[in-house]
Structure 1
């Protein structure tokens, strides 16, 4: 349980420091995202693209690395490569996370989901809906927050 408490304090810090005031409002409003937008999102965060693909359903997928964590961003609810949603996901292997910790994280942070898999692997994910419009700045903040919170939870290691 201490792992989640430390992560909760880290989350509060991340939310305050994740983006400067008004960063979410910067840039044009977008109602759809495509492969080019996913690339711009990842490179705008200063991360390196490691792979690009298109799913059988036509969803653009970009895999990236921060240098210490690997993650993917994928368009969802797509038509002709234009997507109304964004899924961000990362997997950690050999973590001390338990089902109890996953339940506590999922109840405490509704926008972030934690799933414990076999072999001590955990999946963190976050989903953003673009309906009505958003900005790349807001999506960048969402991705950054997920990466920071996931890293803080895993690095706290149950201390």
Structure 2
């Protein structure tokens, strides 16, 4: 059985002041650790790790159903981040560069990369210059998770 680990790295432009303050239509310009927590828990996902890198980049790992992923802020200054990178890591795959190219052509919302060790990264990157809403950021994460779930189930349907 293949091991699937979702790594959703998120760098958002969101400013949040605490739990419950993250209204889906509120315009946000930065995100920090508490904002990431509010975003992930607002999706109904379980946080499994909450940390900050030595460079001050907040990140979380979380579980959505059977999938594990990571969300991390990028382009951060003093813990306030201006973009969102969402990544999924698949191990034990037989994917090729041709597989990744086909996926990238079919799903413009995501990018798949096959690494030299046979692992696969599926990602989505959001930079919000001038602001966005929490709802748009939540939709970005959900989009990546839903497309990835579809990609996981497609090969099984062909067998």
How far apart in 1 are the matches of 2:151 and 2:48? 24
Shift in Å at residue 148 of structure 1? 0.8
Give the SS at the match of 1:153. Answer: helix
How far apart in 2 are the matches of 1:152 and 1:118? 24
Please list every run of 5 or more consecutive structure 2 residues that lacks an aligned counterpart in the other structure. 1-22
Aligned length: 135
1:61/1:73 contact within 8 Å kept: yes
Q: What per-residue deviation string (whole Å, max 9, x for no partner) do you get for residues 57-108 of structure 1? A: 2110011011311111111100011000011111122234221110122233
How far apart in 2 are the matches of 1:154 and 1:48? 21
Instruction: Name the stretch that deviates more: 107-116 or 63-72.
Output: 107-116
User: Comparing both structures, which one devotes a greater share of its residues to strand?
Assistant: 2
Instruction: Name the stretch that deviates more: 110-119 or 131-140.
Output: 110-119
Partner of 2:27: 29
C-alpha RMSD of matched pairs (Å): 1.8
Normalising by structure 2, we get a TM-score of 0.78
Normalising by structure 1, we get a TM-score of 0.78
Give the SS at the match of 2:35. Answer: helix
Partner of 2:131: 133
Q: 1:49 aligns with which of 47, 71, 74?
A: 47
User: Comparing both structures, which one devotes a greater share of its residues to helix?
Assistant: 1
**Moved beyond 3 Å, runs of 4+:** none
Mapping of residues 4-19 of structure 1, within 5 Å? none
Partner of 1:80: 78
